[in-house]
A and B are shown apart, each in its own frame.
Chain A
Amino acid sequence: MIVKVEGPEKFGNESYVELFNSILLDIGITRHVEAVKFIIKPSDPFFLISVKTRKAAGKIRITEIAEISQGKDGTHINIIDENYAPSLISLLWQLYGRDRIEQLSRLEILCKGIDEKEILEIAIDRGEELRKKVLDALWRLLPEGFKVRYDLSSESVITILATEYEMKEEWKRLAEEVHAEMEVLDVQGASL
């Protein structure tokens, strides 16, 4: 992972890099982050972070993570890979509503009155999953009092600029520049 920090205070810069690494490790996405750039200006004050992630390997079909069987009252899903359980159940809730989806036990889901064929069509987007995790890491990292935010997002880069009171146009331009720089970054032979 390429890490670049700009800011007037050495200790603060280093401690934020260490904190970010610990958070990534905690969430388990260290390998998925290719590059990160921080610009920390406590005197202005603003905090900018831009994260470039690896491309996630497409969609995963429901049959790869669960066993599906048709019952009298609907379709039964028996989850095999628990890592995907939260995202699967939230996707089912989103598609069919909470009334029709019942979680029978930790790994068993009953889809009331829904045909097996319909369920077999479902696929989970790995990219979306990763994106959620990266966002979670960023929320944990950003200074708590910096509530005014400006964010930019593309397929592989997320940039967040946070400040305390007024968001200045020049900071926004800076965030856009950093975002564009990260998008075209060639991680293999690049330095930020």
Chain B
Amino acid sequence: METVQQLRDRLAARFPAARVELVLNPGVAAEHSLRLDAALGRDIALFLRDDPALRLDYCSNVTGVDWPDKEITDVVKTTVPDPAGGPPKIVEEKSVHVQPGCLEAVYHLYSMSLKHGPVVIRLRTGNRADAVTLPSLTPVWRSCDFQEREIFDLFGIVFAGHPDLRRLLMWDEFKDHPMRKDYVEPDDYEWEPTAHGAVLERAKAHQLAAVAGVVDPGQSSANPPKAAPGSTTPATTAPVKEAKP
């Protein structure tokens, strides 16, 4: 099979409008990947599947990766000649810029008919908040069906053109995306109390709150909430005594 570099050149020739980048893998495995232009992602995927030299008919693994915003400190060194005639001074200028985060879908492609692979392709969203749409590759490889649903569920990438884009593992009413790096566990369920540590403290806070009749999800574990008279906040499943109005 051709190398990833050759494949990149071939794709660039075949799809001149698309931007195809080579992503080097610095690790020992050295499985380099191709970052495709999201707009033309499905066309390139169809080409990869049907090209007689590649015939990547089997999409093994589809996964999401979350790259949060990253602060990068740039240090620029400038040499300032000393007006007094001494040796020139080196002045360091530090500037912090934020590398915008994104969500990424990674596809591992193999060929079952030609028995080669993998070719790793990646698609990137514009950001992590509103531009999170990528083209779905389920019409190309049916095996992406559940895996793209899982990414939609756990990472929040919206796959345009997916025939049945619903949450896969979490329940439909669930709001957040648990596999994102900045995900914070909601403090709204009853804790299975462990006999030590922070979990026990949170569990105790919830138990106290349940006894008092009110559960405030945003309440910190340190101060159990006071029973607000007449509050109708639904409590946890623990036996609840209604505070008298």
Q: Do these two chains really belong together in a complex?
A: no
Q: Which residues of A does B touch, CB under 8 Å?
A: none
